[in-house]
Structure 1
Amino acid sequence: MPETSVDTNTLPAVFDGHNDVLLRLYRAGGPKAAESFVTGGPGHIDLPKAREGGLGGGFFAVYVPSDEGDTDHDEMARDSYDLPLPEPVPQDRALQVAMAQIATLERLQELGALKICRSAAEIHISMVEHKLAAVLHMEGAEAIDPELITLDVLHGAGLRSLGPVWSRPTIFGEGVPFRYPSDGNTGGGLTDLGVALVRRCNALKIMLDLSHMTMAGFWDVAKHSDAPLVATHSNAHAICPHARNLTDAQLDAIAASDGMVGLNYATAFLRPDGRMVDTGLDDMLRHLDHLLDRLGESRVGLGSDFDGALIPSAIGTAAGLPALRQAMVAHGYGPELIARICQGNWLRVLEKTWGH
C-alpha cells in the first residue's frame, strides 16, 4: 500500500476488544487496589497510560484464574507445545471471584476513572467526554449456574458481553487449548446447556465472544445464534497456525454474519512460529491485512489482551498505542480505515448486537 500522510494526533481514541486489568487488580487486592489504577503503576493499563496512549475504552474482562496457575508463557516460547487444559472451576468459587472483580469495576466508576456503559450510545458519549468507557465482559461462564439465573442477574448489573468458555471445559462447552501448531480442530462444541446459554444471551442482547471457542463450538454458535459472530481478541490462522486463531472458513462465516474480529496483541498468536516471545509490529500488520481481506473494512478492530499476555515491546503498554497507529499510517492505511479499526467498527457491531 502507498504511504499516506496522516497526523495520528487527529485520530480517534482506541476502543479495545479485551483487557484483563480486573484480574490484575483482583490479585492486588480487588476494590482496595482500584486507586492504583487512577494514580498509575505496574501493568499494561491504568488511567495515566490510557490518557497518554489514546485508549478511550474497551471490554473489561471478568476472568477466574485456575487453581493450577497462569498459562505458562515459558512453555509457549518453545518451537511447538500443547499445554494441558486446566481443570474446571466450581461455580461457587467462580461466582465469588467474579463478584470481587465486578465490585472492582464498580469502584473504578465511583472513583471517576471510567464509565460502565450498557449501550453503544453510552460508549460514544463517554469517549467524546474523554471518560474511559468500560463494557462489562466475562471470559468464561463458570460463574453462571445451569438454570441461567445468574446470567439474568449479571445482565441487570451491566453484563453485555460473554465468552461461554475460556481455555478449559465448562458445563457449557469446551475451550481451545494452547497448542502450536494446530489445524484448529481441537475438541467438542457446545453442550445442551451451552445451546441454552446462547439462546438466552440472544434474548438478553448479550454479545457472545467466540475467541476461546473450539472450532466445533464456533460452528455450534453460528448455528444457534441470531446475532453477529464476534471474536474480541483473535488472529488469523493463515498467518499463525495456532489453535487460538481463526481459519479462513471461520472468518468468512463472521463476515457473512456482519460480525467482527479484534486483533489480539499476544505475540504467540501473531508470530508465524507461534512462540510467545517479542515480535515487531510488522506481524500485527500482516494479520490486519489478512483480516481486512477476509472480513472487509467494517469488521476489523483491536483486541489487545492487555494485562493478560506478552505483547510487542514496540507498544509495551496502553501508553504505547500511538506506535501501532503510526505503523498503520506508514503501512498505507488511510484515516477513515484507521478510524474504523480504532473504534468505529466496534461501535457498529455493538449497536447491531445490542439493538440500541
Structure 2
Amino acid sequence: MTDPVALHRSLLTLDSHIDIPWPEGPAFREETSRRVDLPKMRRGHMAAGCFAAYVPQGPRNEDGNAAAFARANGMLQAIAAMGDDTTRLCTTADAIEQAHRDGLTAIIPAVENGHACGGDPTRLRGFRALGARYLTLTHNGHNAFADSAIPRSEFGDAAEEHGGLSPLGREAIAELNRLGMLVDVAHVSRAAMLQAAEASRTPVLSTHSCIRALCDHPRNLDDAQLDALRDVGGVVQVTAVAHFLRPGRKAEDVTLADYADHIDYAVRRIGIEHVGISSDFDGGGGFVGWHDAAECPNLTAELLSRGYGARELALLWGGNFLRLLRIAEQRAA
C-alpha cells in the first residue's frame, strides 16, 4: 500500500497562487499566524509557491494608475527578497526543478490584476525583469484590459464595459506572450476568458478558480470554459476558497472531499493534463483539512484514496503548471 506521506515528499508540489501581506510585507522566514510561511511550507513539503503582487482595483486616473504601478513594483521587490540560503527566487521552469533537486523552496513571483500596469502594457517588461511569471488580467472590477467576472458598483461598473477584452487588453496579451509570461484568466469575465484563450499564442490558465457545474459562482469556470482551456492546452488550477467549492459555505463547512470533487470533475471533463492545484492561501483560501501550507500532505492522501497515482499527482501538484511555463518560455519572442 502506498504511503501517502512518502509519496507527497517525493513530489514537486507547487501552489500556483499565494498572497502576501501588504504594506507590511511578508515575515516569511518565521512562524506567523498566516497560512503560508517558510516553516509551514517545510512542514507540509510544499516545494514551490507562486507569490502574487496583488493590486486591488482602484480609480483609473493618473493618481490611481501611478499608485497601482508603484504597489506592484514594491510587492515584487518584497517577493524577490524572500529568497535566502534555504529558498531560491526562481523565474524559469528549469530553475524551479533545480531548486527542488537542491532541497530549496522555490519562490515564484506573479502579478494579480492588470491594473498594476496603470493602463500601459509596456510596463509588463519591468514586472518580468523582477521575475514575474504570470499576470492575472483583472481582479474584482473592470480595468483597462478586460471585463471582470465581478463588476464593482463603487466604481460605476456596468455588467460589461469592453465586451470581454479591450484593444489594450489584446496588446497586453501580445506583450505577455513576447515576454514569456503566462496569461492568467482567473477573475475575468466569461467573454474575456474565452477571447483571451483564442488571442494568446501560449496556453492560458486560471491560477485559482473552481468548477461552476459544482458551485454556481461567477468566479468559477463553466463547461465551455473548461473545454476552451483543454482545446488550447491550458490548465485550471482548482483553488481552496470555500464559497467557490460549495455555494454560500464558510471554511468550517468545507472539506478535502469537497475540494477533490472539483478536481475529479475537471479531470473527467478535460483530462488530467489540464488540471492543477492552488490554495489562494492568505487571500481567502483554506478549509477543514487544508487550513494552511503545513497540511498539504492531507490533500495528497485524499487524492491518492480516490485512485490518483504518482504520475497523476505529479501533474496536478505542479507538472502541468511547469509545462505551461516551458511553453511560454519557448514561444517568447
Distance 1:215 1:20 in 2: 24
Identify which range, 235-244 or 344-353, moves more after superposition. Answer: 344-353
- Please give the residue correspondences for 1:58-73 in structure 2 after superposition, counting only pairs within 5 Å: 58-65=49-56
Which residue of structure 1 lines up, in the alignment, with residue 46 of structure 2? 55
Which residue of structure 2 lines up, in the alignment, with residue 76 of structure 1? none
- Please give the residue correspondences for 1:1-356 in structure 2 after superposition, counting only pairs within 5 Å: 5-11=2-8, 12-21=11-20, 24=21, 26-27=22-23, 29-30=24-25, 34=26, 36-65=27-56, 90-109=64-83, 111-112=84-85, 114-177=87-150, 187=160, 188-271=163-246, 273-278=247-252, 279-355=254-330
Please list every run of 5 or more consecutive structure 1 residues that lacks an aligned counterpart in the other structure.
67-85, 180-185
SS of residue in 1 equivalent to 2:143: coil
Letter in 1 for 2:78: T
Distance 1:336 1:219 in 2: 30
Identify which range, 132-141 or 244-253, moves more after superposition. Answer: 132-141
Kept in 2, the 8 Å contact 1:167–1:174? The answer is no
Distance 2:32 2:173 in 1: 38
**CA-to-partner distance for each residue in 1:272-324, whole Å, 9 max, x for gaps?**
x2433421111111101111012211121111101101411211110011111
Distance 1:147 1:277 in 2: 38
What percentage of residue pairs aligned between the two structures are identical? 29
SS of residue in 1 equivalent to 2:260: helix
Please list every run of 5 or more consecutive structure 2 residues that lacks an aligned counterpart in the other structure.
153-158
Distance 1:166 1:6 in 2: 39
TM-score normalised by structure 2 residue count: 0.90
Distance 1:145 1:312 in 2: 34
TM-score normalised by structure 1 residue count: 0.84
Letter in 2 for 1:52: R
Shift of the alpha carbon at 1:133? 1.2
Q: How many residues align?
A: 318
Shift of the alpha carbon at 1:60? 0.9
Distance 2:285 2:79 in 1: 23
Task: Let me know the Cα RMSD of the aligned residues.
Answer: 2.0
Letter in 1 for 2:39: P
Kept in 1, the 8 Å contact 2:122–2:175? The answer is no
**CA-to-partner distance for each residue in 1:33-52, whole Å, 9 max, x for gaps?**
x4x31121110111100000
**CA-to-partner distance for each residue in 1:93-144, whole Å, 9 max, x for gaps?**
11221122112112212x3353222211011001121212122111101121
Moved over 4 A (4+): 86-89
Kept in 2, the 8 Å contact 1:240–1:274? The answer is no
Letter in 2 for 1:61: A
Letter in 2 for 1:348: R
Shift of the alpha carbon at 1:178? 8.2
Compare relative contact order (CA 8 Å, sep 6+) and give the higher one, 1 or 2.
1
SS of residue in 2 equivalent to 1:244: coil
Distance 1:214 1:305 in 2: 19
Which residue of structure 2 lines up, in the alignment, with residue 78 of structure 1? none
Distance 1:87 1:213 in 2: 18
SS of residue in 2 equivalent to 1:93: helix
Letter in 2 for 1:20: D
Shift of the alpha carbon at 1:265? 0.3
Letter in 2 for 1:17: S
SS of residue in 2 equivalent to 1:162: strand
